[in-house]
Structure 1
Amino acid sequence: MTLATDHLTGWWVGYVIGAAVVLVVAVLLILIIATVRRIAAVAADATESLRTTQQRTEVLWELEATRTAAKDILAGATEARHALGGNR
């Protein structure tokens, strides 16, 4: 006569394997979530750095207009000097 516990050994092995799989998945999920949070923090820092860089370099977009204005002023000054009899 066999005992009922002999027939349940497979069930217990299955439960242990299932619990181990769930534990591994849970650990991996926790590691993934921690990594995503670190990436989000770095991305936030990078975004802030990009905003700061944008604010500091906005004046460079006006550099062409400044160069054009300076060129016009120089041309006008040269023309005025010639009109007043300066060096030709």
Structure 2
Amino acid sequence: PGSFLAITHPGIDQLPEQMAAAEKALTDAMGFRVTFRTHEGVSAFFTGLEVLDPGVVAVQEWRPDSAPASTTTGMWGGVARKA
């Protein structure tokens, strides 16, 4: 029972230099402001919900089927349930 919310979002605090450049490039290409967020900023989307394990983490760490990746995707991800 209950509804679920799944989010993936570019993380400005993962690979900061590369992500800042990507954020600027997307903003320039799209013609409107594109916003990458920090871990805290992405976590705020789940306020009032029950965040499922392992929480808001780098997406390559969310329920991996194999050994953790040695590189980052630059994305935060998480799933929460509205009880």
More helix by share: 1
Name which one, 1 or 2, has greater alpha-carbon Rg: 1
Please state which band the TM-score falls in when normalised by the shorter chain: under 0.3
Instruction: Name which structure has the greater RCO, CA cutoff 8 Å, separation 6+.
Output: 2
TM-score, normalising length from structure 2?
Answer: 0.21
More strand by share: 2
